[in-house]
Structure 1
Amino acid sequence: MMAKVATVITKLFEDVEFTSPKEALVAAGHEVITIGFNAGEIIEGKKGQARVTIEKAIDEVNPADFDALLIPGGYSPDQLRKDDRFLDFTRHFALHQKPIFSICHGPQLLVNAGVLSGRNITAVKQVAIDVKNAGANFFDEAVVIDPTGLISSRTPEDLPAFNAAIVNALK
């Protein structure tokens, strides 16, 4: 069954933390939709290696129309977490225990959405204290899979394991 995966993203995302999971998901037959501030906006990764066109504005989408959520890292999650529309969108996936795929700085959005209490997670080292303070159980491992469907990873080095886990979760 093909899943429809929402990706919340804005400028200065970590290039490979979007492109690699997207490629893995698309290769497995899933659809990946980019959601940002403005539809049609072209954003660039922080390393300048990836350019992405935002397919849907946050005001145009309903989280109920998606099966899973991908949150790439970089500076994108920090910019998104100040906007209540992205926090509400994210909360929907957590409250309905739909798969959430978060890597590197991605958990910053989950922290501000207030959905980490009691969940198992990993993140890049500098975000570890934030997820702990949000009530999560932090593990310094390549991939952490919480029973609620939250799958997290630390850095681009973990992408092979992360990609395998997220593709497997949608089988």
Structure 2
Amino acid sequence: MSRSIAVLVTEGFEDSEYLSPVDALRAAGYAIFNIDVEPGRIVKSRAEQLPLRIDLGIDQARAADYAGLLIPGGRSPGVLRRDPRVLQFVRDCDARRLPIFAICHGPLLLVSAGVVRGRAMTGVAQIADDLQHAGASYEDSPVVVADCQLVTSRTPEDLPLFNAAMLQLLAEHHPPL
């Protein structure tokens, strides 16, 4: 059983939507692997306060190696959704029924990967139409858990509830020994 979490992240990610979930995951014993198009790059947050080293390029990432997938918000998901390899990785994670966690603009990556139809979801209000047009049922709630697999949330204010739902879902998928 993997205790690793894939984090799809690139330039312009939202600081708190990366740091808070990653800190919660690390505290729960998960290893974090930052994934972007190229390994070894340093990417900066939206506020340019947090430089982040990319561990793996998307060509090196395999869904089977992870216990879950985190997609922080900010401008990062909008950039990543243009790369078909990233979209395939998201589809592979979804097909393996890995827990997927997306906050704020993060669900846009799920829309582009085509994995939202028929699912209840939330996200920042500006993407409600995108979610609905892609076939999701949009809920204006702090956290929405769908299909015992997908956790979505709206904004940094919702992070405590998002983190709790994320850790609960991981515990259900990977109970402690």
8 Å contact kept, 2:120–2:137:
yes
Query: 2:127, 2:143 → 1: CA distance?
Result: 15
Alignment deviations for residues 13-69 of structure 1 (CA, whole Å, 9 cap, x no partner):
011100110000000111111001111100110112211100001111211111110
Structure 1 length normalisation: TM-score? 0.97
Q: Which residue of 1 aligns with 2:18?
A: 18
Report the CA distance between 1:96 and its aligned residue: 2.1
SS in 2 for 1:145: strand
Query: 1:88, 1:2 → 2: CA distance?
Result: 20
Q: Which residue of 2 aligns with 1:128?
A: 128
SS in 1 for 2:82: coil
SS in 2 for 1:102: strand
Q: Tell me the number of residue pairs that the alignment of Structure 1 and Structure 2 aligns.
A: 171
8 Å contact kept, 1:2–1:31:
no
SS in 2 for 1:6: strand
Report the CA distance between 1:148 and its aligned residue: 4.2
Which range moved further: 133-142 or 91-100? 91-100
In the alignment, structure 1 residue 64 sits paired with structure 2 residue 64: yes
Q: Which residue of 1 aligns with 2:142?
A: 142
Q: Which residue of 1 aligns with 2:161?
A: 161
SS in 1 for 2:12: coil
Query: 1:3, 1:161 → 2: CA distance?
Result: 22
Query: 2:63, 2:91 → 1: CA distance?
Result: 9
Query: 1:147, 1:37 → 2: CA distance?
Result: 29
> What runs of 5+ residues in structure 2 fail to find an aligned partner?
172-177
